Structure 1
Amino acid sequence: MTARDDLLAIPDEVLRNGSIAQAALVHMDFLDSPQRWWTGFGDLDVAGHRWKGLGDLIAVSPIASGYSTSARQVDFTVAATPEMLGLALNAKARVRNRDVTVYLQLFANATMAGFTAGGGELMYGDPIGSPMSLYTGTMQRMPYGGTGTTQRRITLETWGIWLKRNAAPRGRWTHADQQARYPGDIGFERLPLYANGYETDWRK
């Protein structure tokens, strides 16, 4: 069933009773420890998964809803917990280029549960319909910092699916790409040594 079919299946009286709300569901496919959060309180069981209320997720930057073929960036602010700090320190291996998806979930019989740090309302109620994809991208850098000795902040930078649309396939100067282009060619096999300052005396 498509998102449109889900919406059409919602009774008209439910949509018009003034208690419809929405929340964001976020799935981050970290290596070894995928996370699912939603912008509400408590655990939420939707679409066969359990989404943790806020958890280590603090804020999500604005997501453009218009169609575009440019690589859109969405940033997430997460709590500086030991687990998140470990991911930031090992971002290249456990975070970078892995999938992130943001969904929109509708709720009926919604009531206000509180406010986000940015001033937005947090709602909860009865989930209706299936989650609708708002944003799909890949996770990139995970810089961390803060002020003083008590404030720490971790930001997860993500880019949309058009990030590498202009990149040529197999266009990297790596041994793996060279093998894909010309099997058996070892011209790039030692390139990492040179990139890290490797020197040799060619007269020997």
Structure 2
Amino acid sequence: MTRPLDQATAAAVRAGHVPYLFFVQMDFSQPLRVCSAGYDIEWNGATWLGIGALGGIEPIQEQAGLEAIGVRLTLAGVPPELIAITLAEQYQGKACQIWFAPLREDLQLAAAPVRLFSGRMDTMNTEVGETAKVTVSAESRMVSWERAKVRRYNHEDQQARYPGDRGFEFVAQMVEKQLTWGR
């Protein structure tokens, strides 16, 4: 898949020495936003917690066709208050995004970060010690492409999803109904 790059990003990447950052966002009830800098960074209207060496991101595979891809990333040095969020909440199916950003000589963003991955969290392993380490596997949304949709178009299913909605109330009566149009 081709990624659009603006002129500033392309020029920054072509330079001889390119310092860079990764931004990772995992959407819990309180989004976990971390970056690979050793200091906090303001970007996209939020403060991204700098945890230094991010830990690791396995190479993100690019696909030419419609195929599901996944990524595995490790966050090391995560503060205890953020670990409490990862342990207490349901995480499967929540959004996970990764961005790449080249930096200028003064270690500020040279251009707008480029999104490398956008998907949903699948599995998570948390190791708590003096510093915490979180390993997350995430999958692209294409994983659900071939999954069977478990939706019934009847009154009961509609009530389970939208209590009080009467849109499918008379569907069962219409199955074998003979309708005469005109005279």
TM-score, structure 2 length as denominator? 0.66
Q: Distance in 2 between matches of 1:132 and 1:75?
A: 18
Indicate the residue corresponding to 1:96 in structure 2: 92
| Paired residue type of 2:20 | Q
Contact 1:19 1:109 in 2 (8 A): no
% same residue: 21
Match of 2:143 among 153, 163, 183: 163
Report the CA distance shift for 1:19/1:165 in structure 2 as closer, same or farther (over 3 A).
same
Q: Unpaired runs of 5+ in structure 1?
A: 111-124, 172-176, 189-204
**Counterpart mapping for 1:42-61 below 5 A:** 42-54=39-51, 57-61=54-58
Q: Distance in 2 between matches of 1:16 and 1:158?
A: 30
Residue 34, structure 1, aligned to residue 52, structure 2: no
Report the CA distance shift for 1:16/1:160 in structure 2 as closer, same or farther (over 3 A).
closer
Report the CA distance shift for 1:168/1:25 in structure 2 as closer, same or farther (over 3 A).
same
Residue 71, structure 1, aligned to residue 68, structure 2: yes
Per-residue deviation, residues 50-99 of structure 1 (Å, max 9, x unmatched) = 2211279533222124445322221222347543543443343xx12111
SS at match of 1:105: strand
Q: Distance in 2 between matches of 1:152 and 1:143?
A: 11
SS at match of 1:128: coil
Contact 2:37 2:53 in 1 (8 A): no
Report the CA distance shift for 1:89/1:27 in structure 2 as closer, same or farther (over 3 A).
closer
Q: What is the aligned residue count?
A: 156
Indicate the residue corresponding to 2:117 in structure 1: 135
Report the CA distance shift for 1:68/1:25 in structure 2 as closer, same or farther (over 3 A).
farther
Contact 1:56 1:81 in 2 (8 A): no
Match of 1:18 among 16, 19, 30: 16
Q: Unpaired runs of 5+ in structure 2?
A: 161-183
Q: Distance in 2 between matches of 1:184 and 1:57?
A: 47
Indicate the residue corresponding to 1:8 in structure 2: 7
What value does the CA root-mean-square deviation take over the aligned residues? 3.4
TM-score, structure 1 length as denominator? 0.61
SS at match of 2:145: coil
Residue 183, structure 1, aligned to residue 174, structure 2: no
Q: Distance in 2 between matches of 1:163 and 1:20?
A: 34
